[in-house]
């Protein structure tokens, strides 16, 4: 980082854009609920008599429909009003989490029931994620986009801190079903807020050749950019390795060697604090080579797996989770800025869907195999393997010239509907969705 890379943020504007306020409020609410619910789901499986393999199967059941329906979700979000897709997805998540909570509170939930309900939740996310990403990126523009993304992510990760800590504390004190019920209520409130989003600034879509044509168009946009598919391929391995370590092995290490759910909740909260610090950094730092800076910050994602393999005491685990959280936030803001800069607005959700699809495609397999791999080689060796995979694929992607050389551009502000500069909305809103 050089002195030239440090750009002081402009003074906070006196008002925030309406869409940004709604997107931020909704993301904070769901962040509080979901981060606790992810811990609750794992411990609900364990408390019902499940083992590592069962935790992995439930985690895989959540991710499998995400992989299956993401591309369709992206095409739908570029054809229909994005806020309607988001509200429909939130409704499905609310209903599935409500049923999950009821089963857990009623006692003795069966494995297949938990898998079906988490699969419904994953289906909702498959349609929500591309719509949300496209909605966010169409809300901001111009020079303030990077700062806007960082500020939104800071708000969202602040909710993750509280959600993870509160979830761990609640599970230690009461039934995990209550945490799942809170998550269901959070989806209901967030869906209500998102129903008020204004999409009048988004240009009308020209009639297309159908869903398959839209998917092909998105694919051509995706494969035509080397930096895009290279980083997505990298993250297909990184996300799978980190997902297996944190969704399956993390709760087991916490239960067997750290004292239960509360220490793991604290570690996840430390990760959230780290992302908050990374977002603060990205409010000021504008690296010229966006993807080079971001990719270098993927290496620390190997630290939590290594910390669990040792395992480190709670304080040490919290420290490595903090570092990895700060690092991934640098990548996240850089990545979103690159997508916002390079991808046409009318294709944002489809490209986002291919991005999400590639990133999570291997997660169901990784989480489902986590238990058998643990039985075969041992938990510690499996975690060291996760750490090694992150380092190897991240080193490999740095050999791609476009990843090293993609530079930040400053584009003139676009004008949106009713003559309002989009950059003014971004600067006034100072935010982005996630």
Contact 135, 83 (CB under 8 A): yes
Structure tokens at 253: 């290490």
Burial 193-202 (b: 16+ CB within 10 A, else e): bbeebeeebb
Q: How many residues does the chain have?
A: 434
Q: Is 6 helix (H, G, I), strand (E, B) or coil?
A: strand
**pLDDT single digits (tens) 268-293:** 878 878 888 888 888 888 888 889 99
In this structure, the number of other CB atoms found within 10 A of the CB of residue 417 comes to 12
| Omega before residue 257 within 30° of 0, cis | no
For the cut 60, the answer to whether the pLDDT of residue 424 exceeds it is: no
For the cut 80, the answer to whether the pLDDT of residue 124 exceeds it is: yes
**pLDDT single digits (tens) 164-206:** 667 667 766 667 778 888 888 888 898 888 888 877 766 666 5
Distance set, CA 255 to CA 24, 52, 218, 269 (Å): 34, 11, 44, 17
State the pLDDT at residue 434. Answer: 33
State the pLDDT at residue 65. Answer: 84
Provide DSSP, 76-97. HHHHS-HHHHHHHHHHHHHHHH
C-alpha span between 311 and 331 (Å, rounded):
26
C-alpha span between 46 and 60 (Å, rounded):
15
C-alpha span between 179 and 168 (Å, rounded):
9
Q: What number of CA atoms fall less than 13 Å from residue 311's CA on the CB side?
A: 27
Mean pLDDT of the chain: 78
Q: Which residue has the higher pLDDT, 210 or 426?
A: 210
Provide DSSP, 185-249. HHHHHHHHHHTT---TTSPPPPP-S-HHHHHHHHHHHHHT-HHHHHHHHHHHHHHHHHHIIIIII
Q: Is 409 helix (H, G, I), strand (E, B) or coil?
A: coil
Alpha helices in 248-378 (DSSP H): 250-253, 261-284, 290-296, 302-309, 314-342, 348-360, 363-377
Mean pLDDT score, 373-395? 91
Q: How confident is the model at residue 427 (pLDDT cuts 50, 70, 90)?
A: very low
Mean pLDDT score, 130-140? 77
């Amino acid at each position: 980082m050089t002195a030239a890379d440090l750009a002081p943020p402009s003074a906070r504007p006196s008002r925030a854009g309406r869409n940004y306020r709604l997107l931020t409020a909704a993301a904070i609410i769901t962040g509080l609920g979901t981060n606790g619910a992810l811990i609750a789901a794992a411990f609900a499986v364990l408390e019902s008599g499940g083992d590592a393999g069962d935790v992995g199967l439930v985690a895989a059941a959540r991710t499998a429909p995400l992989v299956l329906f993401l591309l369709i979700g992206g095409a739908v979000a570029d054809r229909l009003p994005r806020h309607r897709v988001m509200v429909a997805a939130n409704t499905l998540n609310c209903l599935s989490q409500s049923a999950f909570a009821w089963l857990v509170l009623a006692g003795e939930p069966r494995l297949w029931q938990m898998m079906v309900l988490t699969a419904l939740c994953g289906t909702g996310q498959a349609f929500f994620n591309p719509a949300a990403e496209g909605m966010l990126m169409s809300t901001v523009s111009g020079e303030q986009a990077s700062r806007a993304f960082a500020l939104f992510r800071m708000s969202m990760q602040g909710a993750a801190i509280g959600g993870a800590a509160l979830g761990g504390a609640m599970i230690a004190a009461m039934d995990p079903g209550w945490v799942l019920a809170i998550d269901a209520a959070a989806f209901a409130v967030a869906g209500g807020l998102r129903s008020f989003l204004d999409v009048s600034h988004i240009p009308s879509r020209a009639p297309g050749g159908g869903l398959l044509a839209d998917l092909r168009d998105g694919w051509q946009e995706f494969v035509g950019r080397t930096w895009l598919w290279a980083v997505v391929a990298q993250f297909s391995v990184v996300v799978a390795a980190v997902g297996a370590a944190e969704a399956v092995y993390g709760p087991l290490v916490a239960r067997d060697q750290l004292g239960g759910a509360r220490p793991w909740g604290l570690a996840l909260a430390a990760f959230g604090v780290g992302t908050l610090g990374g977002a603060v950094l990205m409010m000021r730092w504008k690296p010229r080579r966006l993807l080079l800076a971001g990719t270098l910050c993927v290496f620390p994602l190997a630290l939590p797996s290594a910390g669990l393999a040792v395992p480190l005491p709670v304080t040490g685990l919290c420290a490595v989770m903090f570092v990895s959280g700060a690092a991934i936030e640098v990548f996240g803001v850089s990545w979103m800025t690159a997508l916002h800069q390079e991808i046409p607005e009318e294709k944002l959700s489809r490209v986002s869907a291919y991005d999400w699809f590639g990133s999570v495609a291997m997660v169901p397999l990784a989480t489902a195999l986590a238990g058998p791999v643990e039985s075969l080689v041992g938990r510690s060796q499996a975690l060291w393997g996760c750490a090694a995979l992150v380092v190897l694929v991240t080193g490999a992607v740095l050999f791609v010239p476009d990843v090293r050389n993609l530079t930040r551009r400053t584009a003139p502000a676009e004008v949106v509907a009713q003559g309002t500069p989009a950059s003014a909305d971004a600067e006034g809103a100072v935010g982005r969705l996630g």
